[in-house]
């Protein structure tokens, strides 16, 4: 693979910095011109703009409220939430508040905000399309809201006022710096004093608006509370009257602690019943126990009720004494002794008395049980009667308590409203705004618009971007080749060289092939030699190409001039015997360009058609250089058949034995296929591309034709290179130095 024909895969992904810089250098006129033009235009516009001044007043929201009296305000202070601050910004910029500002400062008389008062500019009016349309058309197209001719005076004033409010709102800017409770009110105006006046006045109107809102809210609250208090007083009086009338109607008499007499009686009777039931239980227990002991034959003296009797206690003591005596006497005298009998009789009497006393005690216990039971029964009957009566009273008390609750709630509500009414009445003279001014707007010393330095900086940046965009756009739209390296890289073809374009000043009426002979050391001639050298030494070994085909993609690219100039130059040198063969059988122009009108006796066409028996009869000698030339003549009906005939092959074969170099000039590839046919009879093909003119698609298609035909492609040559322009583009190849080192060339 030849050097420079293609890049590796890794390099293909990298940006070619040098190529990028060369592109910018080539298009430097476009870039610099765009920057100068657009920057100058921006500055011109900036100097034509009317200067405007911005003045700002700074307010802060009150996050700490002064508690002059410890009462709750009707309108609470502002919260510090972001949504609340945003709401205050909307209030300041609202049409209502801006309308107050317009009315206070009479801005409807200010031409800056009222377009109807401005002086008409003929130039501006001439450029405004609305000038040429009627009011009806303006309304129909949406350029005017209403037909002003049909408005009344009041409607016109209202429309004018709304327009002024819109313009003042447009000049207003309200903002809240981040992480702060401050509000910045800014106005932009053509006059610095006016801007400061607008900012300060709107700040004062905002604070006044806050106070008025609170005062109006307090007044409305006071009036509403006064009406409600009157209603509540009537309700409280009616509720308390209903409670008293209900008490009297149902004879509900209350003692202390919110209880009735019936409830107290019921409680006392219940206590008595409990005590009586307790006593009854105790009496029944004693009676039951005593009856059980008597029934079981136990001694009556052991009964608890008996033991408590003093008489029975004394009789028991006497019985014990008599029994002691009985025991002594019975032991001493025996059972039949009179003393024994007397003691026994005395003992029997005592026991009889004790039995009588025990019987009395038992009857007493029984009577106590009976009396206690009767008391319990009486208390139960009284309790039931009192309960029935109390139930009726309790039913009435339920309704009474409802009436009392209603009266109490009305009374509490009345007291609350009375207290709130006093607090609200006291707030009318204690209202404070929720914000305060911490910095009044001052008259600005310099205009805030237009910022000429900023405009210039932005214009430079944007114009530079536009210039770069145009440069790359022009580079992308450029469809020709200016550098041999580009031709090599995009088409994977070896670059043989670049041949400069000869200007009319240098030629002085000559042909390029004549100039090459007269100026053999010129840059043009040296470029031709470089092409030949690259072609010869581009082949390995000693097998140098003899038969060289020269072609191009389109007509007018300089292939004939290149081929003839190179042939004459090499032949003039004298070390090579060169043959120039005009292979274009369709357009034979070489003879007309360099020979006398008589011309040669025979042509290539005549030889191929058999009109001339030998190809040597077609040779024409260039006396100035000793170059042998075979020319074509006229138009041929079947040029392709002739070019691939045996006579053509014989010519090339025999000429190769006699000449050191054969240059064959063929037609363009995209016009006809003659060059494709001839490429099979040559050693190498040279492809000619006109500098900056030949379309890249044409070059690509022509090279594809050669490759598909299997033609031996030796390389490509850029012809008609504008040396000065090429050097200006800054490609840095050897063609860029043709015009720099004139000492080496004799032009």
User: How confident is the model over 575-593, as pLDDT tens digits?
Assistant: 899 999 998 888 877 866 6
Residue 740, pLDDT > 70, answer no
Per-residue pLDDT band at 649 (split at 50, 70, 90): very high
What's the pLDDT at 601? 64
Residue 502 neighbours by CB distance under 10 Å: 21
Q: Extract the tokens encoding 28.
A: 């430097």
What's the pLDDT at 389? 67
Per-residue pLDDT band at 4 (split at 50, 70, 90): very low
Tokens 């209880």 sit on residue:
259
Collapsed DSSP state (helix, strand, coil) of residue 538: coil
Give ∠ CA 383-386-390 in degrees, rounded to 5.
Answer: 135
Q: In terms of pLDDT, which residue wins out, 471 or 385?
A: 471
Average pLDDT over residues 472-498: 86
User: How confident is the model over 276-295, as pLDDT tens digits?
Assistant: 888 878 777 777 777 776 66
Percent of the chain beyond pLDDT 90? 27
DSSP string, 671-715: T-SHHHHHGGGSSEEEEEEETTTS-HHHHHHHHHHHHHTT--EEE
What's the pLDDT at 506? 87
CA distances from 502 to 398, 403, 496, 561, 726 (A): 129, 125, 19, 11, 14
Is the Cβ–Cβ distance between 187 and 393 less than 8 Å? no
Please give the Cα distance from 287 to 359 (Å, whole number).
12
Average pLDDT over residues 110-131: 72
Per-residue pLDDT band at 119 (split at 50, 70, 90): confident
Average pLDDT over residues 361-383: 81
Please give the Cα distance from 729 to 474 (Å, whole number).
13
What's the pLDDT at 3? 34
What mean pLDDT, rounded, does the chain reach?
79
**Of 636, 631, 599, 633, which Cα lies nearest the Cα of 618?**
631
Spatial neighbors of 23 by CB under 8 A, at least 6 apart, are: 471, 472, 475
Choice among 269-278, 384-393, 557-566 with the minimum mean pLDDT: 384-393
Q: In terms of pLDDT, which residue wins out, 12 or 354?
A: 354
The segment with the largest mean pLDDT, out of 86-100, 255-269, 444-458, is: 86-100
User: How confident is the model over 424-447, as pLDDT tens digits?
Assistant: 665 555 456 678 888 898 888 888
Residue 422 neighbours by CB distance under 10 Å: 11
Average pLDDT over residues 650-657: 93
Percent of the chain beyond pLDDT 70? 78
Residue 403, pLDDT > 80, answer no
Q: Cβ-count burial of 358 within 10 angstroms (0-12 exposed, 13-18 middle, 19+ buried)?
A: buried
Omega of the bond prior to 172 within 30 degrees of 0, cis? no
What's the pLDDT at 482? 84
Average pLDDT over residues 16-39: 83
- Please list, residue by residue across 528-548, b when 16 or more beta carbons sit within 10 angstroms of its beta carbon and e when fewer do: bbbbbebbeeeeeeeeebbbb
Residue 67, pLDDT > 60, answer no
Average pLDDT over residues 694-713: 93
Tokens 């409203």 sit on residue:
417
Collapsed DSSP state (helix, strand, coil) of residue 484: helix
From edge to edge, which strands make up the β-sheet containing 713-721? 495-500, 713-721, 684-690, 547-552, 661-665, 578-582, 627-630, 619-622
User: How confident is the model over 128-138, as pLDDT tens digits?
Assistant: 666 656 666 66
What's the pLDDT at 432? 65
Domains in the chain, please, with CATH? Answer: 9-45+451-476 (no CATH), 55-66+79-206+432-439 (no CATH), 491-504+511-744 (3.40.50.300)
Please give the Cα distance from 743 to 747 (Å, whole number).
10
The segment with the largest mean pLDDT, out of 108-117, 252-261, 358-367, is: 108-117
What's the pLDDT at 731? 59
What's the pLDDT at 21? 81
What's the pLDDT at 8? 42
Is the Cβ–Cβ distance between 659 and 546 less than 8 Å? yes
**Of 319, 369, 367, which Cα lies nearest the Cα of 344?**
319
Per-residue pLDDT band at 462 (split at 50, 70, 90): very high
What's the pLDDT at 492? 92
Choice among 159-163, 256-260, 328-332, 503-507 with the minimum mean pLDDT: 256-260
Spatial neighbors of 306 by CB under 8 A, at least 6 apart, are: 300, 312, 357, 358, 361
What's the pLDDT at 9? 43
Q: In terms of pLDDT, which residue wins out, 76 or 28?
A: 28
Average pLDDT over residues 416-420: 76
Q: Cβ-count burial of 202 within 10 angstroms (0-12 exposed, 13-18 middle, 19+ buried)?
A: buried
Which DSSP state fits 15?
Answer: -
Backbone angles phi, psi at 411, to 5 degrees: -70, -45
Residue 2, pLDDT > 90, answer no
Choice among 109-123, 512-526, 708-722 with the minimum mean pLDDT: 109-123
Please give the Cα distance from 322 to 125 (Å, whole number).
160
User: How confident is the model over 166-209, as pLDDT tens digits?
Assistant: 999 999 999 998 878 899 999 999 898 999 999 999 999 999 88
Residue 651, pLDDT > 90, answer yes
């Amino acid at each position: 693979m030849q050097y420079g024909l293609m890049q590796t895969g890794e390099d293909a992904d990298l940006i070619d910095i040098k190529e990028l810089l060369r592109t910018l250098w080539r298009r430097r006129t476009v870039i610099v011109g765009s920057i100068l033009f657009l920057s100058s235009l921006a500055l011109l516009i900036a100097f034509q703009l009317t200067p405007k001044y911005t003045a700002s007043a700074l307010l802060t929201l009150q996050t700490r409220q002064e508690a002059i009296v410890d009462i709750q305000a009707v309108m609470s202070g502002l919260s510090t939430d972001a949504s609340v601050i945003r709401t205050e910004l909307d209030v300041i910029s609202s049409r209502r508040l801006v309308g107050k500002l317009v009315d206070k400062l009479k801005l409807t008389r200010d031409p800056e905000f009222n377009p109807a008062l401005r002086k008409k500019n003929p130039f501006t009016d001439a450029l405004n399309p609305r000038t040429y349309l009627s009011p009806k058309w303006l309304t129909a197209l949406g350029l005017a809201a209403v037909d002003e001719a049909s408005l009344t005076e009041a409607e016109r004033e209202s429309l004018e006022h709304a327009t002024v409010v819109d313009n003042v709102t447009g000049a207003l800017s309200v903002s809240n710096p981040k992480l702060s409770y401050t509000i910045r009110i800014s106005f932009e105006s053509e006059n610095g004093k006016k801007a400061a006046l607008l900012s300060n006045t709107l700040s004062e109107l905002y604070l006044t608006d806050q106070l008025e809102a609170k005062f109006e809210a307090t007044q409305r609250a006071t009036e509403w509370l006064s009406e409600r208090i009157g209603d509540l007083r009537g309700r409280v009086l009616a509720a308390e009257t209903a409670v008293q009338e209900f008490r009297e109607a149902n004879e509900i008499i209350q003692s202390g602690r919110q209880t009735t007499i019936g409830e107290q009686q019921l409680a006392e009777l219940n206590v008595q019943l409990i005590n009586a039931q307790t006593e009854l239980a105790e009496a029944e227990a004693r009676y039951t126990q005593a009856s059980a002991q008597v029934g079981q034959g136990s001694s009556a003296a052991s009964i608890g009720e008996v033991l408590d009797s003093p008489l029975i206690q004394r009789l028991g003591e006497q019985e014990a004494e008599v029994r002691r005596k009985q025991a002594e006497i019975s032991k001493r005298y025996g059972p039949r002794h009179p003393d024994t009998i007397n003691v026994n009789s005395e003992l029997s009497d005592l026991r009889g008395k004790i039995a009588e006393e025990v019987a009395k005690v038992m009857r007493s216990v029984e009577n106590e049980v009976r009396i206690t039971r009767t008391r319990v029964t009486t208390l139960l009957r009284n309790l039931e009667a009192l309960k029935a009566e109390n139930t009726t009273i309790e039913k009435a008390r339920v309704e009474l308590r409802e009436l009392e609750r209603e009266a109490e709630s009305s009374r509490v509500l009345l007291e609350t409203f009375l207290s709130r009414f006093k607090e609200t009445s006291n707030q009318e003279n204690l209202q404070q705004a929720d914000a305060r001014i911490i910095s009044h707007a001052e008259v600005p010393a310099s205009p805030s618009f237009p910022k000429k330095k900023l405009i210039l900086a932005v214009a430079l940046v944007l114009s530079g971007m536009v210039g770069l965009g145009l440069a790359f756009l022009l580079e992308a739209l450029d469809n020709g080749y200016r550098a041999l390296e580009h031709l090599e890289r995009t088409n994977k073809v070896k670059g043989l060289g670049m041949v400069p374009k000869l200007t009319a000043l240098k030629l002085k009426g000559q042909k390029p092939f004549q100039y090459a002979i007269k100026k053999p050391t010129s840059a043009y001639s040296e470029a031709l030699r470089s092409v030949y050298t690259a072609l010869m030494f581009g082949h390995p070994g000693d097998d140098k190409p003899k038969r060289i085909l020269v072609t191009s993609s389109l007509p007018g690219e300089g292939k004939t001039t290149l081929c003839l100039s190179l042939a004459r130059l090499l032949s003039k040198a004298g070390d090579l015997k060169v043959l120039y063969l005009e292979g274009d059988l369709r357009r034979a122009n070489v003879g007309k360009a360099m020979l006398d009108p008589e011309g040669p006796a025979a042509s290539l066409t005549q030889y191929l058609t058999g009109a001339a028996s030998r190809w040597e009869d077609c040779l024409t000698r260039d006396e100035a250089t000793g170059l042998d030339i075979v020319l074509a003549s006229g138009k041929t009906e079947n040029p392709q058949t002739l070019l691939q005939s045996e006579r053509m092959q014989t010519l090339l074969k025999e000429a190769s034995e006699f000449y050191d170099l054969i240059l064959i000039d063929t037609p363009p590839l995209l016009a006809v296929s003659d060059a494709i046919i001839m490429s099979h009879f040559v050693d190498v093909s040279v492809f000619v591309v006109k500098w900056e003119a030949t379309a890249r698609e044409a070059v690509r298609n022509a090279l594809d034709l050669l490759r598909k035909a299997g033609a031996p492609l030796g390389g490509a040559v850029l012809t008609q290179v504008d040396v000065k322009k090429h050097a200006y583009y800054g490609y840095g190849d050897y063609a860029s130095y043709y015009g720099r080192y004139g000492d080496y060339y004799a032009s």
